[in-house]
Amino acid sequence: MGTGMASTSWAFTGLASGTVYPALRRLEDTGWLRSRWEDHRVARNELRPARKYYEITKAGEEALAAALDRYRGLASGATPPRVRNAMLKEGAR
């Protein structure tokens, strides 16, 4: 049954098993996401493990906007000003 779930997961997301949570952890370490565990009593009452909820931060929203601009720029062959400014800022570090 575990193999069936893994292959179904792969077919649905295109991601190998075990890639989502490490990616979420890296995004959280970068400051682009924050997480919180739900109240353990809720999970216990529903007879299931506690859930971890993720929320995008302001820095994450800015990084996402820059990434979307970069993608659109690549697709159109142009570099939007926001991306150019972010690239210059990164180069100054």
pLDDT, tens digit, for every residue of 5-27?
Answer: 444 555 666 777 688 889 999 99
Does a structural domain hold residue 72?
Answer: yes
pLDDT of residue 38: 96
Residue 86 domain boundaries? 58-93
Measured CA to CA, the distance from residue 43 to residue 2 in angstroms comes to 23
Measured CA to CA, the distance from residue 47 to residue 41 in angstroms comes to 10
Mean pLDDT of the chain: 81
Measured CA to CA, the distance from residue 34 to residue 25 in angstroms comes to 9
**22, 46: one domain:** yes
The type of residue at 1 is M
Using the predicted structure, report yes or no on whether residue 4 has a pLDDT greater than 70: no
Supply φ then ψ for residue 33, to 5 degrees: -135, 155
Tell me which residue has tokens 């929320």.
55
pLDDT of residue 10: 57
**69, 51: one domain:** no
pLDDT tens readout for residues 73-90: 777 776 667 766 777 777
Using the predicted structure, report yes or no on whether residue 58 has a pLDDT greater than 90: yes
Structural domains of the chain, count: 2
Contact residues for 92 (Cβ-Cβ < 8 A; gap 6+): none
Does a structural domain hold residue 6?
Answer: no
